[in-house]
Amino acid sequence: MSRSDWQVDIGLELHVQLLTNSKIFSGASTQFGASPNSQACAVDLGLPGVLPVVNEAVYEKAVTFGLGIGAIINKRSVFDRKNYFYPDSPKGYQITQLNYPIVEGGKIEISLKKGKTKIVNVTRAHLEEDAGKSIHDQFHGQTGIDLNRAGTPLLEIVSEPEMKSSEEAVAYAKYMHQLVTYLGVSDGEMSQGSLRCDANVSVRRLDDETLGIRTETKNLNSFRFLERAIEFEIDRQITALESGESIQQETRLYDSIRDETRPMRSKETATDYRYFPEPDLLPVEIDDEYIDIIRKQMPELTEHKSERFMVEYDLNNADAKLLASDTALADYFEEVTGISGDSKLSANWIRVELMARLNRDSISIKGSPIPATETGYLISLIKNQSISGKIAKTVFEALWQGESSAQKYIEDNNLTQVSDSKELEPLIDSILANNPKQVEQYRAGKTKLMGFFVGQIMKETKGKANPQQVNELLNQKLNL
């Protein structure tokens, strides 16, 4: 098998659980972790005579998402029935949006290795209800059904089949995860199933102009599984095609223990969902005013923020993107800069000193042991030359280890930088007096020895001397 003879086409369907109090069509709670069926009301159970009523929050979330990816918001959207039988769907159909979804189009820019980026287009995003959960291993010979999740609002985001590798697919999924969390559309809790992914994968020869036959691997609930399942499918499909077999268009499941995908047996016969417009619901119409209100409530988008950081704070592209990528991080940076008065130095410190520690200890910026006020204060001291960068690092580490106040730590340990020439001059004089040989060599042209003198002074002052000041004074004295 040689991958270099083949190209890969991947499209993703992301099922994002919307952050609402109640379900999409009923007033039952969506809280995670409740006792089985304690949050499944008559509507969720599909009892005769009940009628669905649409939750306004699902529209607010869907429109927010649509605006977030620059999509078209359809002012008229229509719900449809998708008919299939499975015990976790007691009505015998799922209410979804087929022909008139709320969101169409839109695109995102994903970041790849080596600083590359790529635009991925979104086909559509529609509202639908989730199914319940089946427990197969707890009851002898029977399946237990928990319908608490039935009716939980989902936004299904469908991409164009434009991704060419598992790396791109994972970057896309991660971006979407970050976006929906950032916008408050979803809580993004992957361990609770708030983001699940179906991967449509096909391969074709390099010179083939049409897409190959695809398989759909369902219900991937982590980025790692998404990557593994795609890698497995690419290899499996290429191996099959190279040995003369054909690919079946089918639905597959990923087995994380065996690290393989296999066909879902229950769907052997091609399913015909017999969609039709949901007779229990009227079309939903929204107007420009509604969309404008939501637009005004939205947090600043990452792209806008990173551009603003470049203009307002004079940051380079990489720093601006990194700091804008997370609301809490961006807020931290802005607070630090506000206090320190130096945006570039602040960005650098956050990136090099703070984030390295946060990453090392797997702490989120929200849980940073050093508040923005302390970081900002510390950087302001570097800026006004009260302390050197080196001393600041010592203080920062002390703060990281639990010191609560930079000011107190600096005072207690007498770390303030010495920039007073009255204090430095006698020290410099004595060092020059104690090293006559070096002074002679320096004056004879060996100017590299400047470093030696600075080092001696730093040693004497335990790093507290202001290096610029020392340089100036030394220059004066040595170049008499």
**Cβ atoms within 10 A of the Cβ of 357, count?**
16
Residue from 2, 4, 33, 35 binding other proteins (CB under 8 A)? 35
Which two tokens mark 432?
């020059």
Does position 139 interact with other proteins (CB under 8 A)? The reply is yes
Does position 178 interact with other proteins (CB under 8 A)? The reply is no
- How far is 375 from 386, CA to CA, in rounded Å? 15
Residue whose entry in the numeric block shows the structure tokens 């209100």 = 293
Residue from 3, 164, 274, 366 binding other proteins (CB under 8 A)? 274
Does position 438 interact with other proteins (CB under 8 A)? The reply is no
Segment holding 235, helix H or strand E: helix 223-242
CB of 406 to other proteins, least distance (A): 44
Does position 266 interact with other proteins (CB under 8 A)? The reply is yes
Phi, psi of 260 (to 5 degrees): -150, 165
Does position 414 interact with other proteins (CB under 8 A)? The reply is no
CB of 133 to other proteins, least distance (A): 9
Residue from 51, 85, 289, 296 binding other proteins (CB under 8 A)? 85
- How far is 395 from 411, CA to CA, in rounded Å? 11
Which one, of 459, 472, 7, 11, lies nearest residue 214 by Cα? Answer: 11
Residue from 113, 114, 258, 265 binding other proteins (CB under 8 A)? 265
Stretch that binds other proteins, among 164-172, 274-282, 310-318, 333-341 (CB under 8 A): 274-282
Cβ(87)–Cβ(134) below 8 Å: yes
Stretch that binds other proteins, among 83-91, 178-186, 315-323, 462-470 (CB under 8 A): 83-91
Residue from 189, 248, 256, 283 binding other proteins (CB under 8 A)? 283
- How far is 45 from 158, CA to CA, in rounded Å? 28
Residue 470, CA distances (Å) to 391, 437, 452, 464 in order: 16, 20, 12, 11
Does position 54 interact with other proteins (CB under 8 A)? The reply is yes
Q: Binding pattern to other proteins, positions 239-258, x when CB under 8 A? A: --------------x-----
Residue type (1 letter), 290: Y
- Give every CB contact of residue 479 below 8 A, 6+ residues apart in sequence: none
- Give every CB contact of residue 49 below 8 A, 6+ residues apart in sequence: none
Pairing, β 251-255 against β 215-220: parallel
- How far is 189 from 106, CA to CA, in rounded Å? 24
What is the footprint of other proteins within residues 118-137 (CB under 8 A)? Answer: 134-136
Stretch that binds other proteins, among 31-39, 295-303, 304-312, 451-459 (CB under 8 A): 31-39
Which two tokens mark 66?
């649509």
What is the footprint of other proteins within residues 143-172 (CB under 8 A)? Answer: 143-147
- How far is 158 from 161, CA to CA, in rounded Å? 9
Does position 400 interact with other proteins (CB under 8 A)? The reply is no
Q: Between 29 and 325, name the residue whose CB sits nearer to other proteins.
A: 29
CB of 319 to other proteins, least distance (A): 39
Total of chain residues touching other proteins, rule CB under 8 A: 58
Residue from 211, 264, 298, 427 binding other proteins (CB under 8 A)? 264
Does position 63 interact with other proteins (CB under 8 A)? The reply is no
- Give every CB contact of residue 123 below 8 A, 6+ residues apart in sequence: 104, 105, 158, 159, 160
Residue type (1 letter), 165: S
CB of 192 to other proteins, least distance (A): 18
Contact residues: other proteins, CB under 8 A: 20-22, 26-29, 35-43, 45, 47, 53-57, 59, 78, 83, 85-87, 99-100, 134-136, 138-139, 141-147, 253, 264-266, 269, 271-272, 274, 277, 279, 281-285
